Amino acid sequence: MALLAKIKEATELFNNVGAELEKEGITLRYHPHGCEFVKDEGIVPIDYMLKSAKKFAFNMDIFWVKMGGGDPLKIMKSHPGKFPMLHLKDRAKGTSGTKDGSGDVKTNVVLGTGDIDIAGIIKEAKKQGTA
């Protein structure tokens, strides 16, 4: 099964489960990890997920978004309200991205010292009411 087909299947499942959890006051949050940025059938899977997420939100791990080739700040600004929670990590300058959700833990660095716009992301998160 192609990646996009799997993402579509997962998105439908997340919406269904999210609807059930919502009845109990719980919000399902998806944590992207890199592979969602690999274009398939001309579509970037994370774009499909963000557009189709009706009953779930996202816990953006900014490190893995960057590793997968995404721009965490741009994505947050393009999809306000989809990220009620962030997982903040910074990435060493000069680190190459990966498309499979893997990477060397040694590329994690102290917030604000790497190649991710931590200050910009925090500013946007405050604006959006992200935790």
What confidence tens digit (pLDDT) does each residue in 46-95 have? 999 999 999 999 999 999 999 999 999 999 999 999 999 999 999 999 99
**For residue 129, what are the β-bridge partners?**
none
Q: How confident is the model at residue 15 (pLDDT cuts 50, 70, 90)?
A: very high
Mean pLDDT of the chain: 94
pLDDT over threshold 80, residue 112:
yes
Structure tokens at 43: 């579509």
Contacts of 5 (CB under 8 A, 6+ apart): none
Least Cα distance to 73 among 35, 123, 19, 111 occurs for 123
pLDDT band at 104 (very low <50, low <70, confident <90, very high): confident
Which pLDDT value is given to residue 68?
92
131 pLDDT more than 90: no
**How far is residue 39 CA from its own chain's centroid?**
15
**CA distances (Å), origin 116, targets 39, 71, 101, 124, 128:** 22, 9, 17, 14, 19
pTM for the full model? Answer: 0.89
Q: Which of 33, 28, 21, 129 is nearest to 84 (CA)?
A: 129
Domains and CATH numbers, the chain: 3-128 (3.20.20.150)
In the chain, what percentage of residues exceed pLDDT 90? 84
| E strand or H helix at 78 | helix 72-78
pLDDT in the model for residue 103: 85
Q: What are phi and psi of 67, to 5 degrees?
A: -60, -35
Task: Read off the amino acid at residue 30.
Answer: Y
